[in-house]
Amino acid sequence: MSVLIEEGRPVGRAKNHRRANLLSPPGVMLLALGTAVLGCRGASQDAADFAAMRKTMVARQIAARGIRDALVLQAMSEVPRHLFVPVDAAGQAYEDHPLPIGEGQTISQPYIVALMTESLALKGGEKILEVGTGSGYQAAVLGRIAGSVFSIEIDGTLARRAEETLERLGFGNVHVRAGDGFFGWPDEAPFDGVIVTAAAPELPPALFAQLVEGGRLVIPLGDPATYQRLTVVMKRNGKPVIEQVLDVRFVPMTGEILKKKK
């Protein structure tokens, strides 16, 4: 014997009560609602899991290695790195190594992103030029600190993908264009800081020229086929003052700089 329920209270007995047909319009609505609820719960759990992984990354890989800049640590703890890598690599996004992002390029190891950002010595509100957008992750980290970021990517596919990701995530102060970063972005110069995320055998003159007096340029310099030195170039009285940080290995810068090498 079954009892019909309406709004949480019994209203009478039902003879020959049948189960609801899940293929009927009400049944389909119930299935859709259940799926949506489960989907929301799954998404919330995923977000919580990634947030925990991000917190661990900052503590164990970045702060533990000596990064002390509070603005950098905050930015690294906020930017969802897993959304800047291919979906099948999202589970590895917060691990201590670079990851391929397609088109023969990679997203740098988290510590290197933090180190290069800290090397710019940002205070907040600056205008930054980035050469080598890649996935857009480094630009997003910079965008959490700087007032505006202008990022150039030589690969058109990566540039479009990064621009879409940054726009979707609300990074309205990050501007991306496809082009050869060897020439910088003259229309937007000068810049308070310049960061280059590809290996160069020598400092591109246009990038130093577009740096403000007292500004800092961070770039991996050396043989693109082997290892490079992460280098900070400071502009003092119009002249470069060099500070070498550590050995690194980046993918090579392409385009005009290869012609100069010849």
Instruction: Determine which one of 108, 135, 148, 151 is catalytic.
Output: 108
Q: At what angle do helices 70-78 and 25-57 cross, to 10 degrees?
A: 150
How far apart CA 152 and CA 167 sit, in angstroms, is: 15
3-state helix/strand/coil string of 62-121: HHHHCCCCHHHHHHHHHCCHHHHCCHHHHHHCCCCCCEEEECCEEECCHHHHHHHHHHCC
What are the contacts of 13-20 at 24+ separation with CB within 8 A?
Answer: none
Q: Which of 152, 154, 123 is nearest to 138 (CA)?
A: 152
- Give catalytic status of residue 151 as yes or no: no
> What is the C-alpha separation between 44 and 85, in angstroms, rounded?
19
Reported as type and span, the H/E element at residue 211 is strand 211-222
Give catalytic residue positions: 108
